[in-house]
Amino acid sequence: MATAEQIKSLIRSYLGDDPERFYSIALQVAAHEAKQGHIALAHDIRDIVDKARKAKGAVILQFPKDMLGLVLSERPDTAESALVIPTALEERIARIINEYRQRNKLKVYGLTHRRKVLLIGPPGTGKTMTARVLAHELHLLLYTIQVDRLVTKFMGETGAKLRQIFDLIKSEEGVYLFDEFDAIGGERSFENDVGEMRRVLNSFLQFIEQDSSDSLVVAATNSPRLLDRALFRRFDDVLYYEQPTDKERKRLIENILGTYLASRFTWKQVIDDSSNLSHAEIDQACRDAIKNAILMERKKVNASELLDRLNERRDARKGLRE
């Protein structure tokens, strides 16, 4: 059962209206029960917390009908500690968070916080998660703009839709993620470019230059070479993401497996075989291994089980390339 301190902490966090602290302690109780061999109870506690967080995170906003499916809103629960990235990158994200929290202090001196951020890196390396972390840590809604739909569905009126989005950025403070940003941020000199896309890019450059709201504008791309050079100077910060190092992969696996990690875990083969996989692929492999352990009524995930799941991720990647 939960320790006396955990029970007291649960009561304090509930009375103090601190749901995140309450969830954190509840998960500690779940981990404690799992170690005691009470696996079913531990799973039940985790399920209760997950459902509560999803209910709390559900956001219903009334967007105009012509923007439905173009902007998605949510309240993420991804903490800063969930990011497994180089220390230098952690520090730069922490600086963005700190400047936002103290933005009024900066305004006194005629300065503004970093609020226009470009994220560059391969798929699955933490760009979208960074936007989720920023929203969670700053207690803001995350608005995800479906850039591919913006371009394909509204060809001929994309500029007008962009204006609506930037009006939203001004009126509703939040974190705004432009995913697959190269769809509108492509180099204007490309021979196969069309006049419409050049106009869209020019509109975006104008809107982001004029925007002076407190919202955070985050653009993410897998293909920086496709971006127009004029874009880079419009951003306050440009963050580069890479595939995880050996140490980062080990830390990521430890974080996700948690209490399911076998005490005698053979790391070398796991680290070697995960060398070309992204954060997202390793995350999925770990969760697949946990699900398999639960269904097989095993309390732990060993290296052999995880290697099988990692190989499945690698095979899936090969299938996409063929």
pLDDT mean over 158-176: 89
Residue range 30-74, pLDDT digits in tens: 766 666 667 777 777 777 766 665 555 545 455 566 666 788 889
What tens digit of pLDDT does each residue of 126-137 get? 999 999 999 999
Going along the chain from its start, the domains and CATH numbers come out as 4-56 (no CATH), 65-240 (3.40.50.300), 246-321 (1.10.8.60)
- Confidence bin at 154 (pLDDT 50/70/90): low
Angle of helix 4-15 relative to helix 19-35, nearest 10 degrees, comes to: 160
The total of other beta-carbon atoms located within 10 Å of residue 226's CB is: 14
Banded pLDDT at 191 (limits 50, 70, 90): very low
**pTM exceeds 0.85:** no
Q: Which residues are paired to 174 by β-bridges?
A: 141
The pLDDT tens digits for 267-305 are: 999 999 999 899 999 999 999 999 999 999 999 999 999
Tell which phi-psi region holds residue 17, choosing left (phi > 0), alpha (psi between -120 and 50) or beta.
left
Residue 189's pLDDT band (cuts 50, 70, 90) = very low
Distance CA 118, CA 115 (A): 10
For residue 276, which of 311, 251, 303, 232 has the smallest C-alpha distance?
A: 311
| Residue 206 CA, distance from chain mean position | 27
CB count within 10 Å of CB 175 equals 26
Mean pLDDT within 311-317: 87
